[in-house]
Amino acid sequence: MSDAPGFILILERGLPPTQRNRIRRRLEALGATVQFVSGGVHPVLEVFGDTISISTLKPEIWPGVVKRVELTSPHPHAAWGLGRGEGATADSPMLPTVVTIPRPGGGGESASDDPGFIEIGPGALTVLAGPCAVEDPEATLSLAHELAGLGVEVFRAGAFKPRTSPYAFQGAGDAGLEVLKAVREEVGLAVVTEILEIGQLDKLSEAADILQVGARNMHNFTLLKELGQCRMPILLKRGFAATVSEFLLAAEYILAGGNESVILCERGLRLAAGSEGVVLDLGAIPELRRATHLPIVVDPSHGGGRAYRVPALARAAVAAGADGILIEVHADPASALSDGQQALDLTTFQVTLAELAAMRQALNGCSAPGAAV
Ligand code: PEP
Ligand code: MN
């Protein structure tokens, strides 16, 4: 038993002991340890143990109960303090998670200050860039070379695409994975690509360093649970109608399985009233920072919906404290097979990168983005 209760139940004033004991026995039968506290205006039960699973039974609506007050997080692995920072002292504050990826061909042995590793987390601003989808092999490799030349370290492209229309380009499939392998091996970039179902895990792991779970699959709890069993870093995108709490619970599915390498990605909410029909929820960045130790990446491409909005939103995301930016780039956006309307051409991307670097420099000295404020 942990020594702090998971929640307390405030009972009705003057509730007869028989009724109180019925509630108590019901909780104990579920495996909880229960402590009765008297003396206040209302009698109170403190509930210890695996209170998260008990919470699904909603004891707050049982007869005689007025209210439940939560004392632990519903997503303990994602939250500061429980999953992270246990035993932290004043001299050694809680540390945020930094996801480290061996640089393809880098050969580093340890993660600390090792150029053989790419870091995603507070302190770094990692740019993940590439076309929405792997297309023609030569064009994709040539784009990867261009991006590497601009200092990009992580290439992001889908081989299997979750498209709204069954008639739209569904991705290059297995042939696309061969192109991604070449991006890793020949260009030396780390690769992020989307996983649609767990049967793809083995082949995607051979072609990528990070697996993306797209906005549509954020609610695919079977997939999330299965990804909790693997040890590949996961870039989890927020569902476009998901609350911050639902987003963190989705991350919790992966973390609870033992996979500690989860990167959160804010990608905008679909709102008819928003300009271009999508609102990039930049207020979620400080909210997430307060709630979780996980790295936070922002995707101004899907959160912008149109290329002209992307540079401004990317700058705003850096100002709001993002640890990384995911940007769709295409050598010829007009001919892209997917999401060309929001892809930056290389010239605009290069200018945007310089603006992001200037933004970071201007922000230097502002409150540490990793702090649990
Ligand atoms: C994508 O990253 O190309 C994509 C489909 O994104 P999302 O899942 O955020 O819509
Ligand atoms: Mn896309």
Task: Fill in the amino acid letter for 245.
Answer: S
Pocket lining: 305 vs ligand 1, CB cutoff 6 Å: no
**CA–CA distance, 284 with 372 (Å, rounded to integer):** 14
Instruction: Count the neighbouring beta carbons within 10 Å of the beta carbon of residue 237.
Output: 26
* Count of residues in the chain: 373
pTM, two decimals, is 0.89
Burial class (CB within 10 angstroms; exposed 0-12, middle 13-18, buried 19+) of 292: buried
CB atoms within 5 A of ion ligand 2 belong to 132, 339
Among protein residues, the one with the nearest Cα to ligand 1's atom 9 is 215
**CA–CA distance, 26 with 21 (Å, rounded to integer):** 8
Pocket lining: 297 vs ligand 1, CB cutoff 6 Å: no
Ligand whose nearest atom lies closest to the CA of 310:
2
Pocket lining: 158 vs ligand 1, CB cutoff 6 Å: yes
The mean pLDDT value for 70-79 works out to 89
Among protein residues, the one with the nearest Cα to ligand 1's atom 3 is 132
Pocket lining: 302 vs ligand 1, CB cutoff 6 Å: yes
**CA–CA distance, 269 with 238 (Å, rounded to integer):** 9
Task: Fill in the amino acid letter for 137.
Answer: P
**In this predicted model, which residue has the larger pLDDT, 366 or 347?**
347
Q: For a substitution probing ligand 1, which of 191, 265, 299, 344 has the most ligand atoms within 8 Å of its CB? A: 299
Pocket lining: 218 vs ligand 1, CB cutoff 6 Å: no
**CA–CA distance, 243 with 75 (Å, rounded to integer):** 14
Q: How far is the CA of 237 from the centre of ligand 1 (A)?
A: 8
The 3-state DSSP class for residue 68 equals strand
Burial class (CB within 10 angstroms; exposed 0-12, middle 13-18, buried 19+) of 76: middle
Instruction: Count the neighbouring beta carbons within 10 Å of the beta carbon of residue 60.
Output: 15
CB 258 within 8 A of CB 226: no
The 3-state DSSP class for residue 317 equals helix
Residue (of 181, 198, 93) closest to 141 by Cα position: 181
Ligand whose nearest atom lies closest to the CA of 216:
1
The 10s digit of each residue's pLDDT in 329-352 is 999 999 999 999 999 999 999 999
CB 65 within 8 A of CB 33: no
Q: For a substitution probing ligand 1, which of 212, 266, 298, 337 has the most ligand atoms within 8 Å of its CB? A: 212
Beta strands in 18-167 (DSSP E): 33-37, 44-48, 65-70, 99-102, 117-120, 126-130, 154-156
Please state whether 121 falls in left (phi above 0), alpha (psi between -120 and 50) or beta. left
The 10s digit of each residue's pLDDT in 129-168 is 999 999 999 999 999 999 999 999 999 999 999 999 999 9
CB 142 within 8 A of CB 338: no
Q: How confident is the model at residue 114 (pLDDT cuts 50, 70, 90)?
A: low
Choice among 236-240, 350-354, 365-369 with the minimum mean pLDDT: 365-369
Q: For a substitution probing ligand 1, which of 192, 194, 240 has the most ligand atoms within 8 Å of its CB? A: 194
299: number of CA atoms within 13 Å, CB side? 30
The 10s digit of each residue's pLDDT in 279-298 is 999 999 999 999 999 999 99
